[in-house]
Amino acid sequence: MTDRIVLANMVFHGRHGVGPAERSNPQPFEIDVEMHLDTRPAGLTDDLSKTVDYRDIFEICRSIVEGPSRQLIETLAESIATAVLDRSAAAGATEVVVRVRKPHAPLPGRFDHASVEITRRRER
């Protein structure tokens, strides 16, 4: 399947990291979500109930990033992927790709961001 719904570069502030400073001061986290599903039923009928409502996906990402602190961005990505697959099951989403970028990771030099990308498929 080649159809995808993409939410790119969502930015939320959270308190995630290993060090105490990262967990006490909110910092930006950039999130991308790609959902793989057949969009044809929605495209042919113009019916939102036949696809994924990306407002719901945005809220899932926001609530996870702005929610309880986690040490690892891997944990953020896994939590987002699980919730998105659960929420998009009715629309037939079979796979999700989640990218979490941390532009202000505490590293001793210049860099764009630290990131993790995961791909999760629906269990059959």
Residue 106's H or E segment, with its range, is none
102 is catalytic: yes
| Burial classification of residue 93, based on how many CB atoms lie within 10 Å of its CB (0-12 exposed, 13-18 middle, 19 or more buried) | buried
CA gap 84, 95 in Å, rounded: 9
* Neighbour order of strands in the sheet with 114-121: 4-14, 27-36, 95-102, 114-121
Catalytic residue among 67, 102, 112, 114: 102
Residue listed under structure tokens 């990306």 = 54
So which residues are the catalytic ones? 102
